[in-house]
Amino acid sequence: MAPVKEYALLCLENPLLDIQAVGNDDLLAKYKLKANDAILASPEHLPIYEDLLNNYDAKLIAGGAAQNTARGAQYLLPPNSVVYLGGVGDDKYASILHDAVKAAGLRVEYRVDPATPTGRCGVVITGHNRSMVTELGAANTYALDHLEKPEIWALAENAEAFYIGGYHFTVCPPAIMKLAHEAAAKNKLFALSLSAPFIPQFFKEPLDASAPYWDVVIGNEAEAAAYAESHGLAGADLPTIAKHLANLPKENTQRKRVAIVTQGTDPTLVAVQGEDAVKEYPVKPIETEKINDTNGAGDAFAGGFLAGLVEGKPLHECIDMGQWLAKLSIQELGPSYPFPKQAY
Ligand code: 26A
């Protein structure tokens, strides 16, 4: 296997601090939340952060979906393999994020907006479900000026693979497209997560503009179903949706697109552009008592999967690495990975 180039993987999205607690149906009802969802906070949601901290013994945990993925990929790769971009404020929450990524060996290049607080995500755990309410704060003021700084763009030019959290479509589609064009022009890998049902529902236009550039697209069952619904495929089964995603028109014809649909404990579905069969990969079994919480399981899967791709591993092994890291992550509190490090 070829050695991994320094900072071969560059990730972009929204750095957030998770305020995570075990909740109950009353708490969900109070803020009109679904048990398993991810939304942007409206004004009526804003008291939830203090509520979680004061009344539910919430923990502060480094989050932001693609930042979790970046930490996950770095977990499996040699030191200095992954760099992550996003926007934060100049506050206590940003320093908690800095400490967490430092411990994980992840390099971050944050755009600092001193006028806006670091973004927060309230995470309400009920059983194996998690409901997330995000106030993006400074993550929302990320802008192209940061990506275009010579020292930051040099990182993009150096990278061999990009991973975009789809949540970033709510923030700065031009930055996503700039990386997409760089990838296609130089035959680099461009991977995207659908992130949440509301992305294909409400951010269809920028999502679709990026679609021709996807070499890899990852979503869970709810995100795939939401994509289908907003693209005239309502009610299609998951293998059909995976196949549809894999075979959308593609800009860079030197790579075949891979579409992955995860579905919790059910098998991971993998469709490859131009191939008839949609393959199923059963997930790694785990005893229910060992599951701490499933928040971040999908991010961990993407992290393991991307680490495999960056190392040039065959597809089936990349899937296995994703499933392995997801299994480790759900045994931790929040979107975290065990320390000391376990070897794959
Ligand atoms: C724009 N939104 C809503 C978001 C997020 C988000 N990350 C970026 N943008 N909403 C929730 N998350 C993160 O998802 C992780 C679990 O997959 C949370 O911070 C959490 O760590």
pLDDT score, position 3: 85
Average pLDDT across the chain, whole number: 97
The ligand 1 atom at the shortest distance from the C-alpha of residue 130 is: 16
d(CA 104, CA 125): 24
User: Which residue has the CA at smallest separation from atom 16 of ligand 1?
Assistant: 296
Q: How many helices (H) and strands (E) does the chain have?
A: 13, 14
Token reading at 72: 């996950």
Look at strands 82-88 and 107-112 and give their pairing: parallel
Question: pLDDT tens for residues 123-133?
Answer: 999 998 999 99
Beta strand extents in 23-151 (DSSP E only) = 37-40, 59-63, 82-88, 107-112, 119-126, 129-135
Q: Candidates 12, 13, 14: which one to mutate for ligand 1, based on the most atoms within 8 Å of Cβ? A: 14
Question: Do residues 18 and 62 make contact, with C-beta atoms less than 8 angstroms apart?
Answer: yes
Per-run averaged pLDDT (10 residues), the chain, 344 residues = 89 98 97 96 97 96 97 98 98 96 97 98 94 98 98 98 98 98 98 98 98 99 98 97 98 98 96 98 94 94 98 98 98 94 94
The ligand 1 atom at the shortest distance from the C-alpha of residue 299 is: 17
Report residue 145: phi and psi, to 5°. Answer: -55, -35
Instruction: Give the catalytic positions in this structure.
Output: 299
Enumerate residues lining ligand 1, CB below 6 A: 13-14, 16, 18, 38, 40, 63-65, 68, 121, 132, 134, 136, 165, 167, 170, 295-296, 298-299, 335
Which residue in 339, 330, 245 sits closest to 289, CA to CA?
A: 330
Look at strands 9-12 and 37-40 and give their pairing: unpaired
pLDDT score, position 1: 60
Token reading at 55: 């009344």
pTM above 0.95, yes or no: yes
> Rounded to the nearest whole angstrom, what is the distance from the C-alpha of residue 64 to the centroid of ligand 1?
5
